[in-house]
Every structure is written in C-alpha cells, then in structure tokens.
Amino acid sequence: MRKSVLVILSILLFQSGSYAAFFQPQGNPYEGMGYVGTLPDLTGKFQPTEPIDAKPVFEKTQKFNSEKEIKPIPRDNPAFVNIILKQDKTSPYINDLTEFIDMLEKIYDSIEENENVQRFAARVYFFNQNAEYFRQKYEDKPESNYISYEKLLQLSNQAKTVSQLRSEAEKYSPYLAYSGSGQIYNSNNIDQQISYLKDEIEKTINILREAR
C-alpha cells in the first residue's frame, strides 16, 4: 500500500515538472540584434531630386542692332542738327588759353597768400615751360598775331624775371649790402616787382577770358 502511494506521488511530481517546463517563457534568440522585422518598400514612392538649370527672371531682349527697335536719326529736324549734332567749335588755341588761366590764377593766389620763394618759383617754372611750348606751337600760325598770344609770352618773361630775383635775393642777401648793385635785392624793390607782376597777371587773365 505504501509503495503504491509513492508511485502515484512520483507520477504526479513528474507531470507537474513537465507542465511547468512547457509553460516556462523561453529566451529571445534574436535578443541584442536590433529590429529584424520586414520594412515596407519605399522605393516605389521615392523620386530622386534632379538638378534644374537656373533661368533668368527676365525675358530675352531683342538684339541691339534690330532695325525694328532703332528709330532713324531725324536729320531733317533743325533742332536735332543744331543741338545734338552740333560740333564743338572751340579751337585748340582757346583750349590752350583756358589751361593758362588756371596756371595764372595759381600764381596770383601764391602772391596773395605770400607763399615761400620755392613754392612761388615752382609755379612760375611750370608756367614758363608751358608758355615756351605754346610759343613754338603757334609762332608760325595766324594765332601768333593775337593780343592774347603776345601778352601771354610777355607775362611769361616778366614772371621768370621776378622769380629769379626772389630766388637770388634769398640766396645772396646775407652777403650783399643793399646799396649799389645789391640794391635790386632790396625787399622794397622785390615787393614792388611782385606787385607789378600781380597786376599784369590780372590783366592777362581778363584778356585770355575774352579771347574767342
């Protein structure tokens, strides 16, 4: 009887162990391997971006030489001919005189502002060089008979003389007595010569401005 009980208990215990082992959760064989499911196919809906050539926002214009776009010149219109096509009648001689006006005004201002001898001499030298070129340019032409031509060359010689006088006075005055030959370097004489030059510059500028 006792043996029968033991046999029945053994059978029950064996069945309970098998049942527990059957329902015990098993470990995931894919654990640690990430997502291993099936992803949807997106290639059918995806369209790759293709580069697009940039185009100007404005439309192409017609060629500049298009006969339809260019109107003919109204040569029969006196206003157009006399104003638009009117040629510059200013002669090269007048243009040269205009440049001399600027040079002479600078020398005049130099005297007014009492600039030093070196500055004054530099301005006069530039004027003399241009006056010499001016003389050679027009000496054999009708312009050489103009008052403006003669006056300009006379002023060039006068300005050169005064400039040399001022330079020599500054250089030699410590060694000369203001008597006899040294009297020409006297400050009063130099001031008087500069005053004469200033007046002649003013007269010459007016002559040059009135030249046509």
pLDDT tens-digit profile of 170-205? 887 776 665 556 678 888 889 999 999 999 999 999
- Classified as helix, coil or strand, 120 is helix
- Classified as helix, coil or strand, 67 is coil
| Lowest model confidence (mean pLDDT) among 79-93, 94-108, 135-149 | 79-93
pLDDT tens-digit profile of 41-73? 555 555 555 555 555 444 444 444 444 554 555
**How distant is the alpha carbon of residue 190 from its chain centre?**
45
- Match 């027009």 to its residue by tokens: 138
- When comparing pLDDT for 141 and 2, which is higher? 141
Distance CA 151, CA 153 (A): 6
pLDDT for residue 187: 84
R_g over Cα of the chain:
55
Residue 115 has pLDDT above 90, yes or no: yes
Q: Confidence class of residue 117 from pLDDT cuts 50, 70 and 90? A: very high
pLDDT for residue 188: 87
pLDDT for residue 68: 52
Average pLDDT on 36-44 reads 56
| Lowest model confidence (mean pLDDT) among 66-80, 84-98, 107-121, 129-143 | 66-80
pLDDT for residue 186: 84
Q: Tell which residue, 194, 69, 54, has the closest CA to residue 124.
A: 194
In this structure, the chain runs to a length of: 212
Whether residue 182 contacts residue 176, with contact meaning beta carbons closer than 8 Å, is answered with yes
User: What is the DSSP code (8-state) at residue 143?
Assistant: G
Q: Confidence class of residue 209 from pLDDT cuts 50, 70 and 90? A: very high
DSSP H/E element including 160: helix 147-172
